């Protein structure tokens, strides 16, 4: 038997989508630019069970006694990544053009917003290191850049998982440049749609110095022009 019943048509527009699904979860390009407009903030990429997401890492400092505080519901692996990032930056301060005494009489606080959401994994290592160098050098991170990758104490950038989801998250957020580990290049070529690859500039790196070169704004020159006599 076939049930004969009148079917009412339903029109779904932008207003209804927001009503049924809730507000958008993704950041736009203006949000990325605004959040990274000050030194100490870098944009990372995270994998979740529902897809990729943008992940901001914030660093700040204050007078203190060399304490390193981590907040944002970070798991043990992520905390270790933060420690590795700080140790690398401290050990390479001279090479990175940083004040050798930046950690003396200072406390550093590193925070990953959305504190109610647990976070873990090693892939935020490069983002944490970039946020720290940005803070110490006073050089903001370029607003259109996002990144992912594990960092070692020697500054090597190791491959991570979830590349497809992370790149798509960057694409949705309007990030036009994505920094990835060199060893993840094959994942990009296999998994990411061509239309997405065409709109993003991918930078493949093997060490954190390459990340910093690509991600940080140039240091402003302090040279003064001589007055004509």
What torsion, rounded to 10 degrees, do the Cα atoms 219, 222, 223, 228 define? 140
> Alpha-carbon distance 39 to 106, whole Å?
17
Structural tokens at position 151: 């960092």
Residue 124 DSSP symbol: T
Residue 24 DSSP symbol: -
Positions annotated as catalytic residues are 123, 166
**H helix count then E strand count, the chain:** 8, 9
């Amino acid at each position: 038997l076939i049930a004969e019943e009148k079917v009412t048509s339903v029109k779904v527009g932008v207003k209804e989508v927001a009503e049924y699904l809730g507000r958008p979860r993704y950041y736009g390009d203006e949000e990325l630019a605004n959040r990274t407009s000050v030194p100490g903030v870098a944009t990372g990429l995270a994998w979740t069970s529902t897809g990729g997401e943008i992940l901001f890492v914030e660093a700040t400092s204050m007078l203190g006694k060399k304490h390193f505080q981590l907040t944002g519901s970070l798991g043990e692996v992520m905390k270790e990544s933060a420690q590795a990032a700080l140790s690398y930056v401290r050990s390479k301060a001279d090479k990175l053009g940083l004040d050798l005494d930046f950690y003396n009489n200072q406390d550093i606080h590193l925070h990953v917003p959305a504190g109610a959401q647990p976070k873990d994994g090693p892939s935020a290592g490069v983002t944490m290191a970039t946020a720290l160098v940005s803070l110490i050098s006073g050089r903001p991170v370029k607003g259109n850049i996002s990144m992912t990758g594990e960092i070692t104490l020697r500054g090597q950038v190791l491959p991570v998982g979830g590349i497809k989801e992370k790149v798509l998250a960057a694409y949705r957020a309007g990030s036009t440049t994505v920094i990835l580990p060199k060893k993840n290049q094959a994942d990009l070529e296999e998994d990411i749609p061509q239309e997405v690859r065409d709109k993003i500039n991918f930078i493949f790196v093997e060490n954190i110095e390459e990340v910093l070169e690509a991600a940080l704004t140039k240091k402003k020159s302090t040279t003064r022009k001589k007055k004509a006599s």
